[in-house]
Amino acid sequence: MTPSSETREAVLERFRVESITEGALRAIARKGAAVTMQDIADESGISKGTLYLYFKDRDELLHRVSEGGLAQLLAKIEDVFAKGLPFDETIRELVLTKLRFFDERRALYRVHFELRFPHGRDPMCDSKKHNPPPEKQLYVDRLTRYFEEQLESKEDAPRLAQFISETVAGLLFRRIPETNGSKLEDDAQFLSDLLLNGLSGRRKKS
């Protein structure tokens, strides 16, 4: 009734959802994309049934985990843009940021992949599935806008944005499974250089 009580419940709810979300991430980190609800419950320190108080079903839970992660990434990206660095520096920072983000949250990355391949191609079952606005797209959209401002030909912007997004994804793709020895900063540096300069000048003079 009172505003404070409303806030209180809402806060509690958010807290629960967050703690489950984090537990889910830990669980996914341990068990892979095949996490069970029991795994998530255990890792969250609550009981299986409680999960269903906050999420309709497994699908919704995983989607929310995914969305939550993306939102954090978007915030970090925005911080980079806010610095107002020159183009090259911005690109380097963007690459490094995304790389670091997922490197610290390898589990999250798995979830993204699993959600993109919803277990079959039967067109009928898509209707009842969770189909939120393409939150991943938000990230690419933001990049697109930046490129439209910075590049000469606007038309390349969307593809370039997507390309960078996926290129970094590619790097992560390698880094995630094996505990790779190469330093993350070096990878980021290398990738940024390649993006900015391509292979030009690296070829043998021959």
Closest CA to 159 of 174, 147, 173, 172: 147
Residue 18, class by beta-carbon neighbours within 10 Å (0-12 exposed, 13-18 middle, 19+ buried)? exposed
- Which region, judged by CB under 8 A, interacts with a copy of itself, from 1-9, 45-53, 73-81, 174-182? 174-182
Per rule CB under 8 A, is residue 132 in the interface with a copy of itself? no
Task: Determine if 17 is a binding residue for DNA (CB under 7 A).
Answer: no
Angle between helices 135-150 and 58-82 (to 10 degrees): 20
List the single partner that 53 binds among a copy of itself, DNA, none, CB under 5 to 8 Å by kind.
Answer: DNA
| 166 binds a copy of itself per the rule CB under 8 A | yes
Torsion of CA 66, 71, 77, 83, to 10 degrees: -160
Contact region with DNA (CB under 7 A), list: 49-57, 72-80, 105-113, 151-159: 49-57
8 contributes a contact to DNA by CB under 7 A: no
Question: End-to-end CA distance of the chain, in Å?
Answer: 80
Q: How far apart are CA 175 and CA 181, in angstroms?
A: 9
Nearer to a copy of itself, 78 or 166 (CB): 166
Told to check if 87 binds a copy of itself by CB under 8 A, we report: yes
Q: Which is nearer to DNA, 36 or 197 (CB)?
A: 36
Q: How many CB atoms lie within 10 A of CB 35?
A: 25
Q: Does 16 bind DNA (CB under 7 A)?
A: yes
Based on the shown chain and the rule CB under 7 A, indicate whether residue 130 belongs to the binding site for DNA. no
Q: Interface with DNA includes 52 (CB under 7 A)?
A: yes
Question: Quick check: 131 binds a copy of itself (CB under 8 A)?
Answer: no
Distance CA 165, CA 137 (A): 10
Q: Which of 22, 29, 33, 58 binds DNA (CB under 7 A)?
A: 58
Minimum distance from residue 60 beta carbon to DNA (Å):
8
Q: Largest alpha-carbon pair distance within the chain?
A: 80
How many angstroms separate the CA atoms of 156 and 57, rounded?
40
Q: Would you tell me which residues interact with a copy of itself (CB under 8 A)?
A: 29-34, 87, 91, 110, 113-114, 116-122, 150-153, 156, 159-160, 162-163, 165-171, 173-174, 176-177, 182, 187, 190-191, 193-200, 202-205
